Chain A
């Protein structure tokens, strides 16, 4: 039971503004992921929510109540840190029970809660150990257990998996998703790994330079990125962009030319674009296919080929663009250095105007 609302939240550190008027609503039980490049303000936003940082302006509401004047512990949140931040001098049990001890809960209650959480996370055997004697994955679990014990309305995670190896990360990702289902509470999760974002989130918040760029369901972001940044950020491998310009605009019917000379026509709302406007045409690697079915064609030389059996990545160098990437489901018998032709359909492309905002094709 927790909805969260940020209203015009800003934060500056000694005059440098790092969050510029963030507005965001989070529904009850939602799994929300903040993504964005390093330094964009994800952690800061999370810390503002948690109360570890003071707002410079704006308001935060949890369940309809304003909380931005409350200390962290009275906001009903729990946080899992990137470094786990386990108290090194305390046992797992003491780590997990510390918040309850501070809150002066009874011994029985503490025992019961810690054991219940330990049960969920398979930590029962480890309760008497110190953090030093745990593996990375176990420490991670303790950090989560410490949050669960408090029965918070909202869980906050700041890149909790980034210190784990690849295999454990996949496993923990699944466990966290299961945990979310089991606990039925709101979770906010910060990462710069967009695979984590895509697989775990109900709702993704893409950030850049302290601005929220887009908020939406994973596939919504994938299919309809609102601007070039989101388009390039979501999806792996990243979208290929071709630069070009509008050569004629006529009542919603446009003609554009890419830098290599290829021309194409499209329709959209009248007045959106003018002649000479710079545009970017985005094509996802999986929409570039080694055949001649599409309307757009590109010939280039494969500079590198990664054949993984079930999928193939080809890095292509062509006059239109020095480097682009093709993703083919299945095996593709291409050698590095070979010349190949790929094609794409305009309908599967994403068009961005001079302000890098998305332009929707019309019909």
Chain B
């Protein structure tokens, strides 16, 4: 009898536990299923696909690392790869200096909450919310050699010699696009930096000021080290963004990195390899996947190393 009663209690408890498991499964299942199907599965497949030969949408034979070899060492591909890679490197370095350097300056100034503080925030952030397509086309129109506002402006202020087909010359095309990108995004790091600065306790800065530190010393010795986590994030995001750079060069220079591949990027090269183009020939999912895997490994490795390195110089604020 006592035995029988005991099991009813255990059953009741077990039922409650099962119900809880079911509830948790209900909460977690949809998100996990969606993520698995549309992110993890394709990512894994990319690796899988890269070791096969492909004929259009049809998978052919297992070819081992042949696709990787083709991407890396085939004389024709190799030339494009190296050119695109170094263009991405240039983009990264230039954005770090122009975009993030300007952002840091703006954030330090805004942190002093000058008159018009809200207005400046909105003004700097406004382009960030716009689509790259809009930005790209808008600047393409502005940079038009004949009717573009940029050249017209230069002529009007007497700098007519400087007017040039910005996007048409290999020397200026990439630089122009980088500046457009900086114009588009500078508000983002600015406000991330600003939020990080605002998070530094005010007394720390006031104490330094009472100690007689100059504004420059405060920025260098207090604010800069304490905003390190934000710097880490922005550096890593800039790195990933630079090596995934696609939209601006695609819209402003086209799929072939015009002029003369001076604005060619890994992203464009990948697109051409995978889906076919004049220079890359027919669509080839095998070499395309191999290139994607290589780009991924590169970005992943370097952003992990960078995160490690940058995080090690962060100071805990508590």
> A338 to B9, alpha carbons, bound, how many Å?
67
**B9, A54: Cβ atoms under 8 Å?**
no
Residue B12 is within 8 A (CB to CB) of chain A in the complex: yes
Nearest A residue (CB) for B17? A54
Nearest 9 CB-CB pairs, A to B? A69-B12, A69-B9, A69-B13, A66-B9, A71-B16, A68-B9, A54-B13, A69-B16, A70-B12
**What distance in Å separates the Cβ of B314 from its nearest Cβ neighbour in chain A?**
31
A/B interface sample: 12 pairs, CB < 8 A? A54-B13, A66-B5, A66-B9, A68-B9, A68-B13, A69-B9, A69-B10, A69-B12, A69-B13, A69-B16, A70-B12, A71-B16
Contact bitstring A60-81, B, C-beta under 8 A = 1, else 0: 0000001011110000000000
Cβ contacts under 8 Å, B12 to chain A = 69-70
Main secondary structure of the interface of A (DSSP, over half): loop
> A54 to B5, alpha carbons, bound, how many Å?
19
Cβ contacts under 8 Å, B5 to chain A = 66
Cβ contacts under 8 Å, B9 to chain A = 66, 68-69
> A70 to B11, alpha carbons, bound, how many Å?
11
Nearest B residue (CB) for A59? B9
**CB within 8 Å of B: which A188-232 residues:** none
**What distance in Å separates the Cβ of A108 from its nearest Cβ neighbour in chain B?**
33
Cβ contacts under 8 Å, A69 to chain B = 9-10, 12-13, 16
Cβ contacts under 8 Å, B16 to chain A = 69, 71
Cβ contacts under 8 Å, B13 to chain A = 54, 68-69
**What distance in Å separates the Cβ of A49 from its nearest Cβ neighbour in chain B?**
16
Nearest A residue (CB) for B5? A66
> A302 to B9, alpha carbons, bound, how many Å?
62
**CB within 8 Å of B: which A60-105 residues:** 66, 68-71
Contact bitstring B192-220, A, C-beta under 8 A = 1, else 0: 00000000000000000000000000000
Cβ contacts under 8 Å, A70 to chain B = 12
> A135 to B117, alpha carbons, bound, how many Å?
36
Q: Knowing that A68-B9, A69-B9 are A-B contacts, what are 10 other residue pairs whose CB atoms are under 8 Å apart, sorted by A's residue number?
A: A54-B13, A66-B5, A66-B9, A68-B13, A69-B10, A69-B12, A69-B13, A69-B16, A70-B12, A71-B16
> A68 to B12, alpha carbons, bound, how many Å?
10
Nearest B residue (CB) for A51? B16
**What distance in Å separates the Cβ of B6 from its nearest Cβ neighbour in chain A?**
10
> A68 to B9, alpha carbons, bound, how many Å?
8
**CB within 8 Å of A: which B1-49 residues:** 5, 9-10, 12-13, 16
